Amino acid sequence: MMLGKIPITWDDKDYIDLPWVSAKESIGGDPTAGFDINKEYLDCFKNVDHYKITDVPKKFIKLAEQFKLKNTVVVLSKMIPGQILPFHIDKYSHYSKKYNIKDKSKIKRIIIFLENIKPGHQLWIENQFCQGEAGSYFGWSGNTKHMAANLGETDRYVLQITGLQD
């Protein structure tokens, strides 16, 4: 697992009032698309939705450059209270196809907290609960099991970076 902290170069206004799009709607209504999940959790995914921005402001693209990954894709993500993504493994289907990647272990995923952790905001990577202040980041490679949840009372905002590391 990767972890660390980067300097904060953003304000709340840089992401809170953006035109957020439902991830569920953008993938055709199938909340399980893109995830390899335990079949026992399928019902949990039926009501899962989170919101994303794929047209990310330049200041967040610059943040991604610090990680020196190739072929980076940067997405802002918002989970409203009550949303849970149970433990799963990302398939990276579109990413793998776009960059012709056969070995998914070379793919890195990094999550940067945009705000200080708030009660109920969760990120687990395997058996590790990840928490920290704004600017804290956590990452994994390929087929690492992880989960995210917002069991709190406020929206949860993160920056998600996907790329390849030499």
Residue pair 123/138 in contact by the 8 Å Cβ criterion? yes
- Tell me the three state secondary structure of residue 44: helix
- To the question of pTM greater than 0.75 for the whole model, the response is yes
Res. 47: pLDDT tops 70: no
CATH code 2.60.120.10 for 2-164:
yes
* pLDDT per residue as tens digits for the range 66-87: 999 999 999 999 999 999 888 8
Both tokens of residue 1? 């697992």
Cβ neighbours of residue 45 under 8 Å, at least 6 residues apart?
Answer: 31, 32, 35, 37, 85, 86
d(CA 72, CA 61): 9
Count of other CB atoms within 10 angstroms of residue 148: 23
Task: Give the burial string for 80-90 (b: 16+ CB within 10 Å, else e).
Answer: eeebbbbebbb
